[in-house]
């Protein structure tokens, strides 16, 4: 693994771009962040990539449409290990909440090596505070279904006592519009609900499965539809603003949750609470948009094209010249991106 670029702020978020498999090999991004007001010595988050790009063409995600294959388990772990050794050379991580998220580039359920990486992580460092999070759009089909069944076993064996957080990104309660927004074969709400119930109740103290929504203008969001399928005993709701991306702007997607207007967030929170759900409003630091570390962003695309969404990717302010063109795994063109 060769680090091509890194930029950001150590007290908020830092993005790394790394090339694998030689000088002409593909590259990925990974991120380390903290969550103010929590300092790093209390909570530290590493966000790793699962695929070189992503074959799923989500309409709001800049990683979609450019795909160069899966990472190996060793390549997945190498991303986290680089960030760990940079701060903890001995591999001893004395942090109560040390979280690794499979949520940067690529749909994790499309790469079986993610399962191998999950098996290896607990023995990679001396990290008693380790817990993991996996975010998925819920792809259908035989191989993804096998992936999630194996995930159940790994969680039960290695990540008990609430140390595994599973998230399904849904974004709208209209299943047809959901399939228009997330361009792949998806499991139905009924199917996701059945699996989520099994996942959330395998052991005492397990976390609820998170249903993630980035509310969008003109896309239905009806809590009663979610309540019809998903039991609040096993599922919680997370609400996030739509992060600024090149693709979202091109598709004219508009966030219905304004991170600068608390009232817009309170409206959606109240809707789901009235249906009996625990609700997390996750806005984060707006400066992460400028760094490009928020979920759904693919900074390499902005650097390669010399363009960026409004209010985002101002990497020159964090130690990296704009429009450098470096670190791009493959050229993406047209609507394939």
**303-326 pLDDT, tens digit each:** 666 666 666 666 666 665 554 433
Which sign, positive or negative, has the C-alpha torsion 236, 241, 36, 126?
positive
What is the structure's pLDDT at 318?
67
How many CB atoms neighbour CB 261 within 10 A?
A: 11
Task: Please report, for the chain, the start and end positions of each structural domain, with discontinuous segments joined by +.
Answer: 2-314
- The per-residue pLDDT for range 45-72, each reduced to its tens digit, is 999 999 998 999 888 887 766 789 999 9
What is the structure's pLDDT at 111?
98
Which segments within 201-283 are labelled E, that is strand? Answer: 209-213, 235-239, 279-281
Burial class (CB in 10 A: 0-12, 13-18, 19+), 191: middle
- The per-residue pLDDT for range 220-259, each reduced to its tens digit, is 999 999 999 999 999 999 998 887 676 666 667 888 888 7
Residue with tokens 């896309």: 219
Q: What is the mean pLDDT of the chain?
A: 86
pTM for this one? 0.88
Write out the H or E segment, with its range, that includes residue 29.
Answer: strand 27-33
- The per-residue pLDDT for range 209-220, each reduced to its tens digit, is 999 999 999 899
- The per-residue pLDDT for range 281-305, each reduced to its tens digit, is 987 665 665 555 666 556 666 666 6
Contact between residue 44 and residue 28 where contact means Cβ atoms under 8 Å apart: no
User: What pLDDT band is residue 170 in, cutting at 50, 70 and 90?
Assistant: very high
What is the structure's pLDDT at 283?
76
Pair of tokens at residue 194: 């059945």
CATH classification of 2-314, choosing from 3.30.565.10, 3.90.1150.10, 2.40.440.10, 3.20.20.70? 3.20.20.70
Pairing status of strand 130-136 against strand 51-53? unpaired
289 to each of 193, 253, 312, 315, how far by Cα in Å?
32, 17, 5, 10
Beta partners for 44?
98
Pair of tokens at residue 222: 């009806």
Residue with tokens 């009235």: 274
Residue 199 CB contacts under 8 Å (≥ 6 apart), including other chains: 148, 151, 152, 155, 166, 206, 209
pLDDT for 331 beyond 60: no
258 to each of 12, 105, 213, 241, 286, how far by Cα in Å?
21, 25, 13, 6, 11
- Alpha carbons within 13 angstroms on the beta-carbon side of residue 224 total 0
Mean pLDDT of 319-334: 40
């Amino acid at each position: 693994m060769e680090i091509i670029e890194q930029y950001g702020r150590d007290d908020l978020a830092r993005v790394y771009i790394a090339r694998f498999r030689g000088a002409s090999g593909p590259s990925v991004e990974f991120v380390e962040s903290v969550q103010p007001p929590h300092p790093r010595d209390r909570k530290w988050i590493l966000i790793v990539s699962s695929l070189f790009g992503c074959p799923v063409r989500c309409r709001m995600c800049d990683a979609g449409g450019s795909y160069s294959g899966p990472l190996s388990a060793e390549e997945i772990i190498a991303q986290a290990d680089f960030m760990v050794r940079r701060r903890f050379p001995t591999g001893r991580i004395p942090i109560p909440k040390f979280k690794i998220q499979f949520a940067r580039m690529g749909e994790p359920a499309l790469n079986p090596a993610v399962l191998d990486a999950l098996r290896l992580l607990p023995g990679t460092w001396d990290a008693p505070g380790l817990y993991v999070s996996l975010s998925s759009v819920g792809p259908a089909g035989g191989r993804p279904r096998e992936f999630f069944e194996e995930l159940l076993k790994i969680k039960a064996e290695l990540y008990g006592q609430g140390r595994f957080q599973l998230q399904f990104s849904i974004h709208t309660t209209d299943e047809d519009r959901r399939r228009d927004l997330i361009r792949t074969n998806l499991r139905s709400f009924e199917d996701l609900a059945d699996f989520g119930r099994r996942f959330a109740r395998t052991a005492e103290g397990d976390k609820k499965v998170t249903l993630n929504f980035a509310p969008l203008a003109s896309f239905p969001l009806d809590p009663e539809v979610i309540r019809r399928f998903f039991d609040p005993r096993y599922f919680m709701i997370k609400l996030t603003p739509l992060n600024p991306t090149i693709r979202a702007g091109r598709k004219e997607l508009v966030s219905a949750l304004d991170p600068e207007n608390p009232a817009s967030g309170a409206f959606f929170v109240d809707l789901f609470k009235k249906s009996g759900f625990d609700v997390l409003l996750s806005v984060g630091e707006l400066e992460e948009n400028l760094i490009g570390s928020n979920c759904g962003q693919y900074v390499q695309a902005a650097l390669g094209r010399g363009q960026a969404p409004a209010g985002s990717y101002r990497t020159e302010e964090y130690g990296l010249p704009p429009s450098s063109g470096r670190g791009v795994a493959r050229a993406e063109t047209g609507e394939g991106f």
